[in-house]
Amino acid sequence: MKETEYRALPGTTMLTPLPVALLTCRRNREERTNILTAAWCGTVNTHPPMLSVSVRPERYSYGLILESGEFVMHPVDEDHVRAADFCGVRSGRDTDKLTETGMTCRAAEGLSTAQALTGLPLSLSCRVRDRIPLGSHDLFLADVVCVQVRSDLFDSDGSLHLERAGLVCYNHGVYQGLSDVLGFFGYSVARPHVLEKRMRIYRSVRRCGHRAIPSRERTREPHPGNHPY
Ligand SMILES: Cc1cc2nc3c(=O)[nH]c(=O)nc-3n(C[C@H](O)[C@H](O)[C@H](O)COP(=O)(O)O)c2cc1C
């Protein structure tokens, strides 16, 4: 059998795929909310719930996070990919990204300054615990003080179905969808009837997709596609 061949590349940031998230922050309650797109982020602790995000000090958002000590993270869904790309290539120094993308804000549970975006599947209210300068980026370690999940992602029995949210990932410069459920935690050792039952639920994701209920019908938000990104 032919051996699998590999090419060695110099050390680089290629742990992929990554989440793609919209991070909202503002200096104080009088100023407008800014949005930064972040992929250098991750879950780092369970108890207490903590996440990290690495931000370059030259970003406009950097100073806002530093001064307020707060931000909100929103994993991006297919309906907001274009807005996420826009927020990742324009700076809040000279652009009002909320106005340009047509997105709107709401109160972020658990925080006093940062606001959350309306329409995205979920928002994680974060309070900065520590900042670690690493080189190109500073890593912000933050406590997740509250999570707000859009109601339509819960079934009538109260179970949460994020697999229906149409979330996307960032895969080496490319935004990719995640609509296909291949398994679930522990499925490799699940009993046959459990496997059958759970996969039947997840297969309906592929059939209906998260578009079964168009998101703009759910949220009545303005269509971002009309804006010149
Ligand atoms: C997909 C994507 C991921 C990004 N991830 C990060 C990140 O993790 N950290 C960072 O500092 N900048 C990241 N950026 C770049 C910032 O989002 C970009 O420089 C943005 O314009 C900064 O906005 P601001 O100046 O309003 O803060 C990313 C951009 C894109 C498009």
Q: What is the chain's length? A: 229
What was the pLDDT predicted at 215?
38
Nearest Cα residue to atom 4 of ligand 1: 38
Superfamily name with CATH number, domain 18-153: Electron Transport, Fmn-binding Protein; Chain A (2.30.110.10)
Alpha carbons 118 and 215: distance in angstroms, whole number: 11
Does residue 124 have its Cβ closer than 6 Å to ligand 1? no
55 CB near ligand 1 (under 6 Å) = yes
> Nearest to residue 42, comparing CAs of 16, 80, 61, 81?
16
Q: Domain segments of the chain: what residues?
A: 18-153
The tens digit of pLDDT for each residue in 193-208 reads 999 999 998 886 654 4
SS3 category, 124: strand
Q: Please classify residue 219 by burial: count the beta carbons closer than 10 Å to its beta carbon, then call 0-12 exposed, 13-18 middle and 19+ buried.
A: middle
| pLDDT tens figures, 28-58 | 999 999 999 999 999 999 999 999 999 999 9
When pLDDT is averaged across residues 187-197 and rounded to a whole number, the result is: 95
Q: Is 88 in the pocket of ligand 1 (CB under 6 A)?
A: yes
Q: Read off the tokens for 62.
A: 């950097």
pTM of the model: 0.90
CB of 90 closer than 8 Å to CB of 59: no
The DSSP output letter for 5 is P
Residues contacting 181, CB < 8 A, separation 6+:
163, 199, 202, 203, 205, 206
Q: Is 136 within 8 Å of 59 (Cβ atoms)?
A: no
Q: Which helix (H) or strand (E) holds 129?
A: strand 122-133
